């Protein structure tokens, strides 16, 4: 992939706070360059809609040896079938459902990440029920040993958790080291997600993407 059309400042020049810089584009080269630097894009609505590049401090990550899987979740997992990269468009469309609160995945984001998927950078984990219906899933970007989780959804209980279980298994099996989930929540903390200072995250990231 060629050089990014949009350049990012080095971390030493980043302001305090989670929002780093405004503007730019969603070109594939820009997106991959951003993830390599610890940044990701989201739309900020106030004071006016704008593309913002974020690097939360602290950063939420899921250590691959700390995923909490209860017995009930293991039982639920038996009800589903997991596949990878077979329904990316449906997964991102479900994550972008405008009925979901705090929706930020616009048509431009769908187009951009679908292009990344076509180029082999973005991936989805899909969970199907016993009738073959898509019941949940997640998508994100892989760079080297990093997987940057972007969003997940479910229409049946535990389906998104099963997708996360499968992702962790896939990452551990392939030697990946860093699962980034951006910001934490009570739900994610219950699954084992922890916060790490931005500086430490960037150290972990540098090691992970050096294997790309």
Assess whether 98 and 159 both reside in one domain. Answer: yes
Reduced to 3 states, what is the DSSP secondary structure of residue 41?
Answer: strand
Give the mean pLDDT of the chain.
Answer: 94
Tens of pLDDT, residue by residue over 124-156, are 999 999 999 999 999 999 999 999 999 999 999
pLDDT surpasses 80 at 209 = yes
Output the pLDDT for position 44: 81
> Do the Cβ atoms of 21 and 15 come closer than 8 Å?
no
Assess whether 112 and 22 both reside in one domain. Answer: no
pTM: 0.94
pLDDT surpasses 70 at 2 = no
Sign of the dihedral defined by the CA atoms of residues 132, 135, 138, 139, in that order? positive
User: What is the band of 1 on the pLDDT scale with cuts at 50, 70, 90?
Assistant: low
Output the pLDDT for position 195: 98
**Across the chain, where does the E strand assignment appear?**
19-22, 40-44, 50-54, 59-61, 81-84, 122-128, 134-143, 146-154, 178-182, 194-196
**Across 100-160, where does the E strand assignment appear?**
122-128, 134-143, 146-154
pLDDT surpasses 80 at 163 = yes
- Domain holding 64, by residue range, is 59-209
Assess whether 34 and 130 both reside in one domain. Answer: no
Give me Rg for the CA atoms of the chain.
17
> Do the Cβ atoms of 36 and 202 come closer than 8 Å?
no
Assess whether 29 and 70 both reside in one domain. Answer: no
- Number of folded domains in the chain? 2
pLDDT surpasses 70 at 102 = no
* CATH number of the domain enclosing 138: 3.40.630.70
User: What is the band of 49 on the pLDDT scale with cuts at 50, 70, 90?
Assistant: confident
């Amino acid at each position: 992939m060629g050089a990014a059309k949009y350049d990012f400042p080095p971390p030493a020049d980043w302001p305090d706070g989670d929002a780093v810089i405004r503007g730019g584009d969603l070109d594939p080269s820009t997106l991959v360059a951003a993830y390599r630097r610890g940044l990701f894009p989201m739309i900020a609505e106030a004071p006016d809609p704008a593309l913002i590049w974020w690097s939360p401090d602290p950063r939420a990550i899921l250590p691959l040896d700390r995923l909490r899987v209860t017995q009930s979740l293991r039982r639920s997992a038996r009800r589903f079938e997991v596949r990878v990269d077979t329904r990316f468009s449906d997964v991102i469309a479900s994550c972008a459902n405008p009925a979901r609160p705090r929706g930020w995945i616009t048509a431009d984001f769908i187009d951009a990440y679908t292009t990344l998927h076509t180029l082999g950078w973005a991936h989805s984990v899909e969970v199907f029920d016993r009738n073959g219906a898509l019941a949940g899933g997640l998508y994100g970007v892989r760079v080297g040993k990093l997987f940057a989780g972007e969003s997940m959804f479910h229409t049946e209980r535990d389906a998104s958790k099963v997708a996360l279980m499968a992702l962790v298994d896939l990452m551990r099996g392939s030697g990946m080291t860093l699962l980034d989930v951006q910001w934490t929540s009570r739900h994610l903390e219950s699954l084992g997600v922890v916060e790490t200072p931005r500086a430490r995250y960037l150290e972990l990231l540098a090691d992970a993407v050096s294997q790309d």
